[in-house]
Structure formats: structure tokens, C-alpha cells
Amino acid sequence: MNSTPLAPYYPPHRLVEFAGWQMPVFFEGVLKEHHAVRQAVGLFDIAHMGKFILSAPLAELESLVPSSLGKLQPGQAQYTLLLNEAGGILDDVIFYYLGGDRWRVIVNAATRAKDFAWIQGHLALGRVHDESDDYILLALQGPKAGLTLQQLCTEDLSTWERFGHGTATILGQPVWLARTGYTGEDGFEILLPSTAGITLWQELLSRGCTPCGLGCRDSLRLEAAMHLYGQDMDEQTNPLEAGLGWVIGKEKRDFIGREALERAKEKGLSCRLVGLQMQGRGIARHGYEIVSAGEVIGVVTSGGPSPTLNCNIALGYVPAEQAKLGTQLAIRIRNQEVPAVIVKRPFYKRD
């Protein structure tokens, strides 16, 4: 069981096991932390995320993912997927282009070992290095994240675009910095050694950043309709069903799972992931049944209250022919059918 390097520096909080790590659910409360990210700035310890370095020709890497990596310039990144031969989703990842043949890839904590073995099995020996234990990651998220970090950073962060990344100097320490995140807000993810990370964590807290746990990380990403691997998608789900067809490059080229996706597209999708807004006070949770005219037609994959929108929301799969916006459905909660309506995703989008 791993513990985060920052554990001794946390205020009192509740810890749970997450992907082999002891992680905080919250510090002072999920609602307070959620609103801090939406209105100001929140600080997350995401040291548990997998961190790989790939050194391989572009042609080899593009065979691994459905996205067009060749369009990226050094300092740019691409959200994409790892697929199996059947087109099922092994994981969702971000490829960061470092220049030349070098890439950094951030993967989910729970799939770190599986992803590493899968990539290693498709590339020549020595092409992939797992640096997960060498560094930690901090995520600074919210409308004031850039302003807060700029006070500690030598580089002009206002010129960094969304999904931009590179080397920067923070508190005199070289770090790798990316303008990415998992909250639906502006923000940065910071890769650095543990000791430097502890110093930066304490400095950011002293400047008024709110420490945030897994609880608000989930409510924030749900409002932004960001997928959670293992719930909203898995190896039995393909990108078209999950609403992630946009990651597939338009040019004709070979990649793992391509033929299966083409067959699925030709055949027509049997189901689609939709956004649901509850019409009653019931809260939809993972695994709850989605009902139409008394018949079970699907299942909720993620659900909960939306503190920003002040309503209850959910994601779930329903038959493709019943996935239209405005369709009235119900969620079965403790043997009661609570009305819900299919709405546009994301539920929340920052200005």
C-alpha cells in the first residue's frame, strides 16, 4: 500500500484506499472544496497517477492510439485512448509531445501496470520507461490558478494555451508544467520531485489555496462530463458508444482497434452514453437502473449532486434510439422510479 509523499503535511481528513494508495476523500468538506475550485483555486495531490516516458518513432506511436499525434508540435498534448483489438477502451490517457522521439504519457493509477505492460508489448524493448515513482504530481485548478502560480513562476504563464506544457521554474526549482486538469476549470498540473513538491504544497496552502480530495474531484469532473475509467467506460465499451469518437483521427491509417470500430460504425451503435438531469430529489448512483415505460433500458455509470447547478445529475448508457436530447426517462432508486431527462453534456462549462 503506497501513501502519498504529502501525507504528513495534510490537515485532518478522511483517508480511503484508491488504486493501492491511501488518498484523502476531503479535508474540510466536499462542498467547500468543490466551490473553491469553481470560484477561486483548489490544490490536489495526484501523485498516484501513472507517468511514463516513451521514446519511439511517430509511426510506432500512432499505431497505438486512434488520435493523430503527428499534428502536434513540441509543447502540445492530446487526450486519447488505448484500445484493444475489439475496439474496447483499455484506458484514457494524455500524450504530451516533448520533441524529437520523446513523449510523456499520463495514465490512470488503477491501470498503470496494465498500461505499461500493454505499451511495452507493442513497442521495441526499452522504448517505454515508468517514472511514476520518481516524481509526484500536483494539480492547481480554478479561475485563479494561473494568477496564483504566476506569483511563484519565472515564465509568463499567460502565453500557455490549454494542453500546452513544458519546463518551468517555480520557487527556483525546475519543474514540468502542463495546462491540463480534470475539473472543467483552468489550471495546471505540476510534475516535480517529492521534496520540492512538499515545499510547493505548503507554499500554495499559505497563499490561500484550498486543499482538495477525491470527493470534489469526482463532483467536479461529473459536472464537466469527464469520463471516469472503470465506470463510464471500460474494455467492453468503444469510443463511439462513450461519446469519444472525436478523438479518432480523420486520416486513413492503421491503429489497434480500427477495424472493429469501422464495423461498429457500419452496423450502427446499440447504445450511447448520455447526460441525465434528475427531475425529482433522488440521487442517481453508479449501477442504478435507467427505466423507460417501466422497462429497464440502461444503467447509470456516474451520478450525484451538482453543487454548482444545484440539481442532481448522472451519466449512463441507453439504447441509441432513445438517446435524444429531451427524452423523458426514470432512474430506479430504492424501488421508486424518479423522473429524469436527457440533457446536453457537459452539464457545466466554464466561460
Please determine, for residue 2, whether its predicted confidence score (pLDDT) is greater than 70: no
Closest CA to 60 of 5, 152, 128: 128
Q: Which CATH superfamily is domain 2-47+133-223 in?
A: Probable tRNA modification gtpase trme; domain 1 (3.30.1360.120)
pLDDT in tens, 305-342: 999 999 999 999 999 999 999 999 999 999 899 999 99
306: Cβ contacts below 8 Å, ≥ 6 apart: 219, 222, 223, 312, 313, 347, 348
Please determine, for residue 280, whether its predicted confidence score (pLDDT) is greater than 90: no
Mean pLDDT across 227-241: 98
Residue 124 pLDDT level (bands cut at 50, 70, 90): confident
Single pTM value for the model: 0.95
Residue 1 pLDDT level (bands cut at 50, 70, 90): very low
- Residue 251: the pLDDT is 87
Mean pLDDT across 68-92: 97
Q: Which CATH class is domain 270-343?
A: mainly beta
Closest CA to 298 of 277, 280, 271: 271
- Residue 150: the pLDDT is 98
The full set of domain ranges for the chain reads 2-47+133-223, 51-130, 270-343
Mean pLDDT across 152-168: 97
Q: How many angstroms separate the CA atoms of 60 and 175, rounded?
A: 28
Q: How many angstroms separate the CA atoms of 333 and 281, rounded?
A: 11
Mean pLDDT across 142-165: 97
Residue 131, sorted as left (phi over 0), alpha (psi -120 to 50) or beta, turns out to be: alpha
pLDDT in tens, 14-25: 889 988 898 999
Of residues 18 and 188, which shows the higher confidence score?
188
Residue 74 pLDDT level (bands cut at 50, 70, 90): very high
Confirm whether 2-47+133-223 and 270-343 share one CATH topology: no
Mean pLDDT across 204-213: 96
Q: Which CATH superfamily is domain 51-130 in?
A: Aminomethyltransferase beta-barrel domains (3.30.70.1400)
pLDDT in tens, 4-56: 666 555 554 688 998 889 899 999 999 999 999 999 999 999 999 999 999 99
Please determine, for residue 191, whether its predicted confidence score (pLDDT) is greater than 50: yes
Residue 230 pLDDT level (bands cut at 50, 70, 90): very high
Q: Quick one: CA dihedral 66, 129, 154, 150, positive or negative? A: positive
